[in-house]
Chains A and B, each alone.
Chain A
Amino acid sequence: MKANNRSLPQRNRNSPETSAVYNSRIIVALSFLVAIIMILPIYYMLYLSFSARGKEFAFPPTVIPKPFVVGNIVQAMKGDTLPLWPNFRNSLTYAGLATIGALLTESMVGFAFARLRFPGRKILFGITVGMLIMPFVVTLIPRFLLFKQFNMASGLTPLILPVWFGGSPYGIFLMRQFFMSIPYQIDEAAKLDGAGPWRTLWLILMPQALPVLVALGMLHFAYFWNDLLGPLIYAQKQDSKVLTQGIIFNFMSNWSPTWNLFMMASLLMILPVAIVFLILQRRFRQGFLFSGLGGR
C-alpha cells in the first residue's frame, strides 16, 4: 500500500535523472520551510515556558530565554494557588471514560449500520450523517436545561454520560465505513462456527479495527482533554474542575497572570498527547487508510 511516487521519475523518458533530483530537492526544501513555519507557535510556547517571571517579553528578545528557568516545570505542576494534580485526575477521568465510551458504542452502532439489516436502517443512517452538521450551540442550552431538571447539571457526569450513547456521528460514520471495507466472508466463516453478531464484532472484527480505533481514539481524547466550554458549564465545583480550568484559574487571574507558568502548564498538557501521536504515527494513518474514506 505504499504510494511512493517520488522514487518513480528515474523511469521518466522526458526528464533525465537530474530533473528528478532537482524536483526532490525542491520538495525537501519546501517541507523544511513548512516545518519551520508550523513550529513557530510551539517554539514561542517553549520560549515563554522557560522564561523567568516578568522577563517573558523582555526587549530586545533573545533566541533562548535569559535566564533559562528549568524550575518552571515543577512550579507549573504545583500551581500558583492550588495544586494541579486534582485537575489532572479529573481531566484523565473525563477524557479517558468519554473516549472509552465513545469507541465502544461507536463500534457497536457502526457495526449495526454496516452489517445488520433492520427496518429503517437507511433512514437512521441518513439522519446520523445529517447530525454531522449540527452546530453545538443548537443543543447546548436545551441539554443544560435537561440535565438541570434531573438535578445532574453538576460534575463530570453530564459531560461523560452523553458520549456513552453513541459517541459522535463522525465516529459512527468512520466505524461504519471501516466495517464496510472488511469482506463479508469473514462474518460468514464466524457464523458457520456458531458466532452471533455480538461475538463476531468483539472477537473477529474489533482486533482488525485496532488501527482505526487508535486514530479515532486519539482524536476523541485530544478533544475531551482540551475541552473548556463543557467543563465551564457543568464542572463548576472545585472538586470536579479539569486541567483547562485549573490552568486558567491558577495562572490567568486578572490582577497578576503568570504567563511563563501558564505556558509551561499548557505545554505539559500537550505533551502526553504528542508523545502518543509520535509512537502511534504509523498506525494512526493506517486507521484512516482502512476507513474507506480514501477509496469510497
Chain B
Amino acid sequence: MDFSNLIRNPRSSRSREALAGYLFAAPWLIGLAVFQIGPLLASFAYSFTDYPIIAKPKFIGMDNYSRMLGDKLFLTSIRVTLTYTVFSVLIYVVASLFLAMLCNRSGQGVGLVRLLVFLPSLIPPFAAAVLWGWMFNTDFGIVNYVLTSIGLPQQGFFQSPSQALPLTIILGFWGMGSAFLIYLSGLQSVPTDLYDAIVIDGAGLLRKFWHITLPMLSPVILFNTIIGIVISFQVFDLAWLLTRGGPANSTLVWVLYIYRTAFEQFEMGYSSALAVVLFMTVALTAGVIFRTSRWWVYYEAKID
C-alpha cells in the first residue's frame, strides 16, 4: 500500500510530507496517548485520592503526599534505592566498559568470551534469583562451603541485614550484558587512525585510553549512564524474588514498596502517589546528568 497515493490532490509536497509523517508516526502517537501519557495522568489523578480497589476513589487532596514525609518505610526505601542506584550505576557504567575494552580485539576465542560475558544477562530473573539464593544460602550454599573449607568464617549473606543489599548490588555485575554490547559497538566505531597517530607520538595504553577512547566514547557513556540510572531506580525482580525486601527491610527498594502498597495493602491512591514521586525523581536525576553532560561529553562536529 502506498499512502502517498491516497492524497490525490496535494496542495504542496510539503503538506503531503506532513500527512505522511503523521501517518507513519500514527501507531506511536496513539500508543503514546493510550498506553503512556494516559496512564501517567491517571496515576497522577489517583495520587490525590483514597482508592482501596474495591471502592470508588475518593478525593483527599495532598494527604497522600504529606503522609509520605512521615512514612518510615518509605524513607527507608528511598535510602535503600539511592544506595543501590549509586553503586549499581557505577558497576553498570564502569565495569562493563572495562569488559568491553578487554573484548575489543580480534583473535582466537574473543567471540566466545563475548558470549560468556553476555550469556548471564539472558538468564530469566526468576531462575537467576533461585540460582543466587542457593549459591549464597547461609547453611547449604556453595559459597559458604568454599569459605569455611579455606578457614574463613561463615557469612550470613541474604540473611544478614548488613550484607543483603551489598550482595544484591554485586550480583548486578552478571546482568550488565546490554551496556557491554553498546560499549562494544561504540569502541568499534572509534577511528583506528586516531590510535595510530597517538601511538606514533609514543603514547602507552593509559594515554590512549585517556586521550582517545574516553572522549570518543563519552556519548555512549552518557547513554549507558542514563539507561543505568533508569533501570537501577526501578529495580524490582531480584529484591522481590530473593529477599522480599528483607531482612529488616534492608533491601526494600522503592518499586517493591509501591508494589506492596498496591497489591498487598490495596492502597491504589497512596501507591500512585509513590509512583508519581518516583517518576519525578528519575526525571530530575536524568535531567541533571544531561545538563552536566556538556562539560564532559565530546561530540564530533556533527549537527543534527
Residues of A whose CB lies within 8 Å of any CB of B are: 1-6, 8-9, 11-15, 23, 27-28, 30-32, 34-35, 38-39, 41-42, 44-45, 48, 56-57, 59-61, 105, 108-109, 111-113, 116-119, 121, 124, 127-128, 130-143, 145-146, 162, 164-166, 172, 180, 196-199, 201, 215, 219, 222, 225-226, 228-229, 244, 247-248, 252, 259, 262-263, 266, 269-270, 273-274, 277-278, 281, 284-289, 291, 293-296
B147 at the interface (CB under 8 A from A): no
Q: Which residues of A contact B61 (CB under 8 A)?
A: none
Which residues on A sit within 8 Å (CB–CB) of B55? none
**Please, which residues of chain A bring their CB within 8 A of the CB of B184?**
285, 288
Q: Which segment of B72-80, B83-91, B116-124, B158-166 sits at the interface?
A: B116-124
Separation of A141 and B182 alpha carbons in the complex (Å): 32
Q: How far is the CA of A6 from the CA of B275 in the complex (A)?
A: 48
Given contacts A1-B189, A30-B102, A132-B226, contact A44 B17 (CB under 8 A): no
| A131 and B276 contact, CB distance less than 8 A | no
Is B199 within 8 A of A11, CB to CB? yes
Instruction: Tell whether B93 is near chain A: CB-to-CB under 8 Å.
Output: no
Q: A105-B27, A141-B43 are in contact. Are A35 and B117 (CB under 8 A)?
A: yes
Neighbour of A293 across the interface among B204, B223, B268, CB < 8 A: B223
Could you give 17 example pairs across A and B, Cβ below 8 Å?
A: A3-B187, A14-B202, A27-B105, A32-B113, A44-B135, A109-B27, A111-B24, A113-B25, A117-B17, A135-B234, A162-B35, A196-B3, A198-B2, A270-B124, A285-B188, A288-B184, A294-B185
* Contact status B103-A274, CB under 8 Å: no
Q: In the complex, A59 Cα to B148 Cα: how many Å?
A: 13
B145, A61: Cβ atoms closer than 8 Å: yes
Q: Please report the C-alpha to C-alpha distance between residue A4 and residue B187 in the assembled complex, in whole angstroms.
A: 10
Asked if A31 contacts B233 (CB within 8 A), the reply is: no
Contact B35 A288 (CB under 8 A): no
Q: Which residues of A contact B248 (CB under 8 A)?
A: none
B255 touches A109 (CB 8 A): no
Q: Is the interface of B mostly helix, strand, loop or mixed?
A: helix
A57 to B46, CA, bound (A): 48
- Nearest CB in chain A to that of B300: its residue: A295
List of B residues within 8 angstroms of A273 by Cβ: 122
Which of A2, A140, A145, A165 makes the CB contact (< 8 A) with B192?
A2
Q: Given A35-B117, A197-B24, A277-B118, does the pair A8, B196 have CB atoms closer than 8 Å?
A: yes
| Interface SS of A by simple majority | helix
B70 to chain A, nearest CB (A): 22
Neighbouring B residues of A9 by C-beta, 8 Å: 199
Establish whether residues B122 and A5, one from each chain, have CB atoms under 8 Å apart when the complex forms: no
**A8 CB contacts on chain B under 8 angstroms:** 195-196, 199
Complex interface: chain A residues within 8 A of B126 (CB): 228, 244, 247-248, 266
Given contacts A3-B104, A61-B142, A281-B111, contact A141 B268 (CB under 8 A): yes
- Chain B positions within 8 Å of A162 at CB level: 31, 34-35
Give 3 nearest A-B pairs by CB, closest first.
A165-B31, A166-B28, A118-B21
Give the docked Cα–Cα distance between A198 and B226 (Å).
33
Q: A38 contacts B117, CB within 8 Å?
A: yes
Neighbouring B residues of A228 by C-beta, 8 Å: 124-126
Evaluate contact between B24 and A109: CB separation under 8 angstroms: yes
Cα–Cα, bound, A59→B142 (Å): 9
**B2 close to A38 (CB less than 8 A):** no
User: Are A41 and B135 in contact (CB-based, < 8 A)?
Assistant: yes
B191 touching A133 by the CB < 8 A rule? no
Within 8 Å by CB of A294, from B22, B125, B186, B204, lies B186
* B189-A222 in contact (CB<8A): no
B30 contacts A by Cβ under 8 Å: yes
B234's partner among A38, A57, A136, A266 (CB-CB below 8 A) is: A136
Bitwise interface map of B from 1 to 29 toward A, beta carbon under 8 Å scored 1, else 0: 11111000000001001111110110111
Chain B hits for A57, CB < 8 A: 134, 140
Q: How far is the CB of B304 from chain A (nearest CB, A)?
A: 8
Query: A1-B188, A61-B145, A274-B122 in contact; A134/B113 too (CB < 8 A)?
Result: no
Q: How far is the CB of B151 from chain A (nearest CB, A)?
A: 16
Q: Is B65 an interface residue (CB 8 A)?
A: no
Do B124 and A197 have beta carbons less than 8 Å apart?
no
Residue B66 at the chain A interface, CB threshold 8 Å: no
**Could you say which residues of chain B place their CB within 8 Å of the CB of A44?**
131, 134-135, 142
Contact A112:B25 (CB < 8 A) given known A30-B102, A141-B262, A288-B181: yes
